[in-house]
Amino acid sequence: MLDMRRYILFIVDGNVYIYNGHMRCITARHSTI
């Protein structure tokens, strides 16, 4: 489970983006929804 104090999760056009403010990296996972 992600620590929401460190991670910001947002959904754009069916893609799930996770932003890690500490490491300053963004990952995206495409959703089949």
Per residue of the chain (33 residues), what is the pLDDT tens digit? 556 566 677 777 777 777 765 544 455 566 565
Q: How far is CA 7 from the centre of its chain?
A: 7
pTM of the model: 0.33
Give the closest residue to 19 by CA, choosing from 31, 32, 33, 11.
11
The C-alpha atoms of residue 31 and residue 16 are separated, in whole angstroms, by 7
The C-alpha atoms of residue 22 and residue 12 are separated, in whole angstroms, by 22
- What are the structural domain ranges in the chain? 1-33
**pLDDT score of 7:** 66
What are the tokens at 21? Answer: 């403010």
Task: State which H helix or E strand residue 25 sits in.
Answer: strand 25-30
